[in-house]
Structure 1
Amino acid sequence: MARGKTSTDPAELEKLEWPYDWPPPWRNDRLVGHDAAERAMLAAHRSGHLHHAWLITGPRGIGKATLAWRFARYLLAGGQGGLFGATSDSLDVATDAPGRALIDARTHPDLFHLRRTLDPKADRIRAEIAVGDVRALGEFMHMTPAMGEWRVAIVDPADEMNSAAANAILKILEEPPPNSVLLIVAHAPGRLLPTIRSRCRRLALSPLSDETVVRLLGDYAPAVEREEAEALADLADGSIGRALELANAGSLALYSEMVEVLTTLPDLDMARLHGFAERFARRGEEANADWRSLNYLLDGWLKDLARRAALGGEGTAVVPAERGLQARLLAAASLDRWIEAWEKIAYLLSRADAVNLDRKQTVLVSFLALQSAMR
């Protein structure tokens, strides 16, 4: 869309918000690997003492938002049971249940989805959840339910609230309206205000098994070969969302190139390193996807190296060139040196976009920091 020409078409707005090929949580009817969490929510509803706020936590991309939307559907369209309602032992709601289509379209009058909204001046989604959006949520929560018993709000993710928005959420939690449920999704709950955490019932979800990630990749990205899916599962650390993003960006090839450079340590092959770093000097959406992938892959690789230095053992070789690499590097430098290098690189990568650092130079300096750790 051209600047200043923001479309009001819901499909175009949703594409800005969810630029992926797989279903968004509000239309994803499938949740795998979190049966215990579903049972806890179902039991809470049946008890007649449903907590007014739930904090659903766990790593990004494992199904937290999907669980929140399943519970919202259950409360708004299925919780009463009956012909169109939920089944007796799950949060499943029939596709033809009254109100179900409105929930999936996010137009149900008793549903509020708090997330980053469109900045019409920039034609893009805002970087934070703004306090104005939380004020609108507060007004919504105090209204009388229009179609049933409950009013339900989903905050996804709470990590993206600015400080003013977080304080506004706290006010809602301090005086919860009757017949309302607030479902708060958080990737890093430790960053939330302690007073927010203390007023919620915590539901912590665990990463998915590699086997589950591989199976889901087969469903959502059938073009990915089994061997590649297994490698992506290793890299994704139990997150199907992350695995799909990596697959979509062709990140396995990027990881292989990164490892090829790492194998030349401590005497870095500077020609190879410059060639690798050059790809990040480009601009555009494809280059941005590569950059995001590198941030995740290099940080994850360094975390695993530090973990192996502390606990011993050899990590999984995702690509053939990786075999024996960790053992060789760990024999060349102490744990303190590797942690120091990891912290320096994490800071560089996090600051690169914040202060518009040259990406190619950032990559070069990051790999040179690894070389310094070994000398």
Structure 2
Amino acid sequence: MSLHLLKTNSFTNSNTTFPLISKFFKKSHSHHSWLIYGNQGIGKASSIYKLINELLSNTANTVYGEKDYYHPDLLVIDKLPEKKEISVDSIRKINNFLSLTPLQSQFRIVLIDNCNYLNTNAANALLKILEEPPKNSLIFLISHAIGQLPFTITSRCIKLHIHNPTYTSSIQILLSLLEDINENYAKKLITLSCTSIGLAIELHNNNALDDYQEFIGLLNNIRDISIKQIWKWLDNVEDWKYISMFCHHFTAKLLKTASNLENLYYINDEERKLIYSLCSKCDISILIELYESIQYLLKECTIANLEHKQVILAIFNKFRNITLLNDQPI
């Protein structure tokens, strides 16, 4: 079963998404496993913690929120900051936890955040739990990359898809949260983050918008730049995930523009002109191949722990080859 929640106008989802989740849960409360998915930074975890608060509200203890929580009938599992994945040892804790009788509430509740980071052994261990869940147990999975989860797991859950806020409402929310920015800057952050408020705030805090605009500048002069210039830019960007995000964002926007999709927003005129120029050089089949090959490189870079600089150099070469089509400068 899959449920799609309407776009919300609240970052915390307290006015819209949480009531919808609560309503759906009450209708299907007999089901033990729930998968909440959507992009990062749109309030998935906030909404589920509100639901958990509601489920445990008749007890003496209180579940306060994502970082400050404790309840004897709640087990929270997440990827540790220093780890790349959620291990099987973390999942094994669930068996012991769910084997006990609820102490202060009706349920024993397990919340697995960022469940797309489950390694193979952890996913297999979780599958066994989902197949034969103990009585009075509830398991909530939160994912920002549902495609990375095995079908055997997703098929055993009721799926709730939380959509991003609208473009206009995202800008207003961001302006209310970051009082030191203007509307034009907020629009750029929202465009780069694809209306993810949490990601937009993170990009702002790490000055990542400047890094992306330098990335566009490099692509715009792809025929003339040297390897040293590319590597210098890479050294200035602190986190690999931003570099990966820049490549994904640009190629996705390139493909959407070539597909003549409406209501597309661009970071600035330089990005828009560059994308239109690249689209004019080749048909959409070549751009689809470009998108798929770049996504493959980014994925393999993470999985196989490839050298980041060599992967980005290969991606820049792919863009250079596109500009050479018809041998016309950008």
TM-score (norm 1): 0.75
> Which residue is 1:163 aligned to?
120
Letter in 2 for 1:106: Y
1:357 aligned to which of 299, 303, 307: 307
Contact 2:91–2:126 (CA under 8 A) maintained in structure 1: yes
CA 1:317–1:50 in structure 2 vs 1: closer, same or farther (change >3 Å)? same
The 5 A counterparts of 1:144-293 are 144-264=101-221, 268-270=223-225, 274-281=228-235, 287-289=237-239, 291-293=240-242
Separation in 1, partners of 2:231, 2:280:
27
Contact 2:37–2:44 (CA under 8 A) maintained in structure 1: yes
Separation in 2, partners of 1:62, 1:183:
17
1:301 aligned to which of 210, 233, 250: 250
Separation in 1, partners of 2:116, 2:146:
7
Separation in 2, partners of 1:133, 1:275:
43
Separation in 2, partners of 1:216, 1:312:
25
1:368 aligned to which of 290, 309, 317: 317
Higher relative contact order (CA 8 A, sep 6+): 2
How much identity, in percent, do the aligned residues show?
Answer: 27
> Which residue is 2:71 aligned to?
108
Paired residue total: 313
Consecutive unaligned residues of structure 1, counting only runs of 5 or more, are: 1-28, 81-96, 118-123
> Which residue is 1:9 aligned to?
none
> CA offset at residue 159 of structure 1?
0.4
Separation in 1, partners of 2:231, 2:315:
10
Asked if 1:137 corresponds to 2:90, the answer is no
CA RMSD of superposed structures (Å): 2.7
Contact 1:102–1:108 (CA under 8 A) maintained in structure 2: no
Contact 2:252–2:291 (CA under 8 A) maintained in structure 1: yes
Letter in 2 for 1:115: D
Separation in 2, partners of 1:197, 1:48:
17
Consecutive unaligned residues of structure 2, counting only runs of 5 or more, are: 1-9, 326-330
Contact 1:308–1:314 (CA under 8 A) maintained in structure 2: no
Separation in 2, partners of 1:43, 1:349:
37
TM-score (norm 2): 0.84
Contact 2:61–2:70 (CA under 8 A) maintained in structure 1: no
